[in-house]
């Protein structure tokens, strides 16, 4: 007798899309195929190659059903060998099982009667693509581990060598792939799908073909090489397995295997067998892994207090390998902060496909205890040195149309980078009663800090909660107490010792009777001579600038409002192309509306540029 019952929406979806990867059970499509050819479903529920062999030799079934079911049955075998679905295959037998998963999935996708495009809306094709992607992840991870182990146990082998596997002729194609240094090899390959992050609002990825991986590089190499920049130590990769062959029989019998690895920022698709296939990608995993392993929060505080294991010079972190065809977004964090201040801003920009295709992000990490003038000069030098390294002729897009984004004190530094000093700042020195000899000595040290022109590469700036005219908080009791906790490096004090002594005859600043240079908090006081002077410097007419300002209390008149640290009157700039006021505290850069405003400005910039 035939009966009928109803399915809930959840049961319907589970029936249509459930499979070994999602439920641990064979999919309904594979079970139906087993029934059609008259196989006993019971034995096929257990991991065994016998069922796959029987299905291979069965008659009366089309290639699409046969190959898709074989891919899942081999998946069942491979997963049972691993013991756990997330285990990296260690033995050649285990890796071979995963290769068979990929082979049958690959054959289904490209060597059956219908093309992938003709099956675009079918659940079965999505399932089989997932079998392929997961199998590639396992194969690449296993081969990588074998190569690393072989290189460690032999003086004649290198991790660069093409992987070997008994019975297979393996070749590699890494066209366009670039790590930070030609001699760098990943220490580890991590599947992006295995990573879950807290602190990130969104994970941005691109559905497609291939395994989404993150390469773990040795970040300490950048410091040993004493460079002012370093590229992302956790670059994103997309890996594929290509089975050479012009027909189904050849693909199913070949023992040739090509490992293809691509940079998803450079390649959005790949041509296979006459089809343009979108490549899978994860644009968040590498960034999140970098931040999770950085220890920036503690290091930034150590730097502010002048302690060991802090930093004493600016450094640029490039969020992807340098691309001459993408313009640069240069981000500057605020006081006591680090690149972690931009965690969601950078992620949301990288997650926007249009912005990702046109921009690359450079984050400036600098010691926030230093005087503004010194940090500004050193950041300028760091940017110039990095551009010189990658684009010495300044002819590429990367050196043209840079967008500056600065939060809090970083906004003040960003403004200095697009301003002309004239003689305004030098007059602060000339106001002291100095002899010509003393003036010459002081000029030798301070002139590079007090005379500057706008960076010609920058054409747009976004200032976020920036105290352009200082803040009264820095001069209050709490601000003065914090200023006393800030310590400048001994080397810096020694470098400017002669200047301190020369200027000591007027307006001495003392700390327990000892003369000292002003630190960053001193400079942020609304009464500080330096911040008052720079607030009047003209911004380059070639630069369009925007303000994003926080207002802590919506019931306060805007002109009298503040964000808890910075008054509106200090953050406001006349002549801004736009000004967005948001109800928020000082860390407004993390506000979702602020991020939307940043994205709006960047899209507007692209529309006006091209």
| 3-state secondary structure string across 165-204 | ECCEEEEEECCCCCCCCCCCCCCEEEEHHHCCCCCCCCCC
Whether 246 and 345 share a structural domain: no
> Would you place residue 11 in the very low, low, confident or very high pLDDT band (cuts 50, 70, 90)?
low
Residue 125 pLDDT greater than 50, yes or no: yes
Report the C-alpha gap between 272 and 173 in whole angstroms.
14
Q: What is the CATH number of the domain that holds 436?
A: 3.40.50.1820
> How far is the first Cα of the chain from the last one, in angstroms, to the nearest whole number?
69
Q: Write out the two tokens for 115.
A: 């093309």
In which band, very low, low, confident or very high, does the pLDDT at 509 lie, cut at 50, 70 and 90? very low
Read off the pLDDT band of 152 (50, 70, 90): low
Judge whether 499 lies within some domain. Answer: no
| Across 117-126, 298-307, 378-387, 400-409, least confident range | 298-307
Co-location of 332 and 226 in the same domain = no
Q: What is the mean pLDDT of residues 451-472?
A: 95
Whether 308 and 347 share a structural domain: yes
Confidence of residue 327 (pLDDT cuts 50, 70, 90): very high
270 and 361 part of one domain: no
Mean of all residue pLDDT scores within the chain: 85
Are 267 and 318 members of one domain? Answer: no
200 with 317, same domain?
Answer: no
Please report which confidence band the pLDDT of residue 443 belongs to, taking 50, 70 and 90 as the band edges. low
Q: What are phi and psi of 350, to 5 degrees?
A: -65, -25
Domain boundary (282, 316, 335) is at 282
Q: Name which of 175-184, 521-530, 553-562 the model is least confident about.
A: 175-184
547/585 same-domain check: yes
How would you class 516 by CB atoms within 10 Å of its CB: exposed for 0-12, middle for 13-18, buried for 19 or more? middle
pLDDT band at 478 (very low <50, low <70, confident <90, very high): very low
**363 has pLDDT over 80:** yes
Domain presence at residue 70: yes
Residue 500 lies in a domain: no
Summarize the confidence of residues 404-423 as an average pLDDT.
Answer: 95
Residues 166, 83: one domain?
A: yes
User: What tokens were used for 403?
Assistant: 């967008």
Query: With bands split at pLDDT 50, 70 and 90, how would you rate the model's confidence at 162?
Result: confident
Q: Which percentage of the chain shows pLDDT scores above 90?
A: 55
Give the pLDDT band of residue 86 (cuts 50, 70, 90). Answer: low
pLDDT band at 521 (very low <50, low <70, confident <90, very high): confident
Q: How far is CA 240 from CA 279, 394, 490, 558, 609, in A?
A: 9, 36, 53, 56, 36
> Is residue 493 included in any domain, yes or no?
no
195 assigned to some structural domain = yes
Q: What residues form DSSP beta bridges with 58?
A: none
Length of the chain: 610
Half-sphere exposure of 599 (CA within 13 A, CB side): 20
- Nearest residue to 128 (alpha-carbon basis) of 68, 78, 70, 77: 68
Average pLDDT of span 111-117? 92
Higher pLDDT, 70 or 480: 70
Last residue of a domain, one of 248, 282, 316: 282
> How many domains does the chain contain in total?
2
Domain assignment present for residue 287? The answer is: no
Rounded CA gap, 239 and 160, in Å? 16
Query: When comparing pLDDT for 532 and 447, which is higher?
Result: 532
Tokens representing residue 362 in the block: 């450079």
pTM of the entire predicted model: 0.86
Tell me: do 207 and 235 sit in the same domain: yes
For residue 475, what pLDDT band results from cuts at 50, 70 and 90?
low
On the question of pLDDT at 507 being above 50, the answer is no
Is the pLDDT higher at 256 or at 59?
A: 256
Do 467 and 352 reside in the same domain of the chain? Answer: yes
Tens digits of residue pLDDT in 57-68: 888 889 999 999
pLDDT at position 222:
54
Could you tell me if residue 585 is inside a domain?
yes
- In terms of pLDDT, which residue wins out, 39 or 338? 338
Better pLDDT: 321 or 334: 334
Give the per-residue pLDDT at 163: 83
Phi, psi of 574 (to 5 degrees): -65, 145
Q: Which domain holds residue 394?
A: 295-488+516-609
User: Is 495 within a domain?
Assistant: no
Same domain, residue pair 332 and 472: yes
**349 pLDDT above the threshold of 70:** yes
Q: Are 327 and 359 in contact (CB under 8 A)?
A: yes
The mean per-residue pLDDT over the stretch 494-513 comes to 46
**β partners of residue 562:** 567
Closest CA to 211 of 317, 267, 117, 138: 138
Domain boundary among 213, 248, 282: 282
Q: What is the mean pLDDT of residues 437-442?
A: 62
* Chain segment 291-318, per-residue pLDDT in tens: 998 888 888 878 777 777 778 889 999 9
335 and 259 housed in the same domain? no
For residues 87 and 471, what is the distance between their CA atoms, to the nearest angstrom?
55
């Amino acid at each position: 007798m035939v009966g009928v019952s109803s399915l809930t929406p959840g049961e319907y979806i589970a029936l249509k899309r459930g499979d070994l990867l999602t439920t641990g059970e064979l999919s309904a499509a594979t079970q139906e195929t087993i029934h059609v050819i008259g196989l006993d479903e019971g034995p096929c529920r257990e991991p065994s190659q016998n069922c796959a062999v029987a299905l291979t030799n069965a008659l009366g079934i089309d290639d699409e059903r046969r190959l898709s079911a074989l891919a899942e049955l081999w998946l069942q075998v491979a997963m049972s060998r691993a013991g756990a679905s997330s285990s990296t295959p260690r033995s050649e037998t285990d890796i071979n099982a995963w290769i068979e998963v990929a082979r049958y999935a690959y054959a289904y996708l490209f060597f059956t009667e219908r093309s992938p495009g003709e099956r675009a809306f079918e659940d079965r094709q999505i399932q089989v693509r997932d079998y392929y992607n997961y199998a590639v992840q396992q194969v690449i991870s296993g081969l990588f581990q074998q190569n690393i182990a072989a290189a460690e146990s032999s003086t004649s082998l290198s991790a660069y060598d093409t992987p070997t596997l008994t019975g297979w002729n393996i070749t590699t194609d890494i066209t366009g792939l670039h790590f930070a240094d030609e001699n760098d090899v990943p220490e580890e390959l991590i599947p992006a799908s295995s990573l879950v992050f807290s602190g990130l609002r969104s994970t941005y990825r691109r559905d497609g073909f291939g395994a989404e991986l993150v390469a773990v590089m040795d970040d300490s190499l950048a410091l040993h090489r004493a460079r002012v920049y370093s590229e992302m130590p956790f670059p994103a990769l997309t890996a594929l397995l290509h089975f050479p062959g012009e027909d189904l029989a050849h693909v199913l019998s070949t023992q040739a295997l090509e490992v293809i690895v691509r940079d998803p920022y450079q390649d959005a698709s790949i041509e296979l067998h006459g089809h343009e296939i979108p490549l899978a990608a994860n644009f968040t995993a590498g960034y999140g892994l970098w931040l999770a392993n950085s220890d920036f929060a503690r290091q930034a505080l150590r730097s502010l207090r002048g302690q060991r294991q802090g930093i004493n010079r600016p450094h640029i972190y490039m969020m992807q390998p340098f691309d001459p065809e993408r313009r640069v977004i240069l981000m500057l964090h605020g006081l006591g902060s680090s690149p972690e201040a931009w965690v969601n801003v950078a992620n949301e920009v990288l997650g926007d496909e249009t912005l990702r295709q046109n921009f690359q992000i450079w984050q400036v990490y600098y010691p926030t205890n230093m005087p503004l003038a010194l940090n500004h000069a050193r950041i300028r030098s760091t940017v110039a040195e990095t551009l010189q390294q990658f684009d010495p002729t300044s002819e590429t897009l990367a050196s043209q149309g840079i967008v500056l984004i600065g939060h809090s004190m970083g906004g003040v530094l960003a403004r200095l980078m697009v301003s002309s000093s004239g003689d305004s700042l030098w007059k602060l020195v000339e106001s002291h009663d100095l002899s010509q000899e003393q003036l010459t000595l002081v000029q030798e040290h301070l002139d590079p800090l007090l005379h500057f022109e706008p960076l010609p590469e920058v054409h747009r700036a976004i200032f976020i909660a920036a105290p352009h005219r200082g803040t009264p908080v820095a001069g209050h009791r709490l601000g003065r107490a914090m200023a006393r906790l800030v310590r400048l490096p001994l080397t810096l004090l020694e470098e400017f010792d002669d200047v301190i002594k020369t200027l000591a005859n007027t307006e001495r600043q003392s700390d327990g009777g000892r003369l000292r240079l002003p630190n960053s908090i001193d400079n942020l006081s609304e009464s500080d001579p330096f911040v008052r002077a720079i607030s009047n410097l003209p911004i380059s007419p070639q630069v369009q600038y925007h303000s994003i300002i926080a207002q802590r209390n919506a019931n306060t008149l805007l002109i009298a409002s503040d964000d808890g640290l910075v008054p509106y009157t200090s953050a406001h700039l006349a002549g801004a192309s736009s000004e967005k006021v948001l109800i928020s505290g000082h860390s407004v850069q993390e506000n979702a509306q602020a991020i939307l405003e940043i994205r709006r400005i960047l899209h507007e910039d692209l529309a006006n540029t091209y």
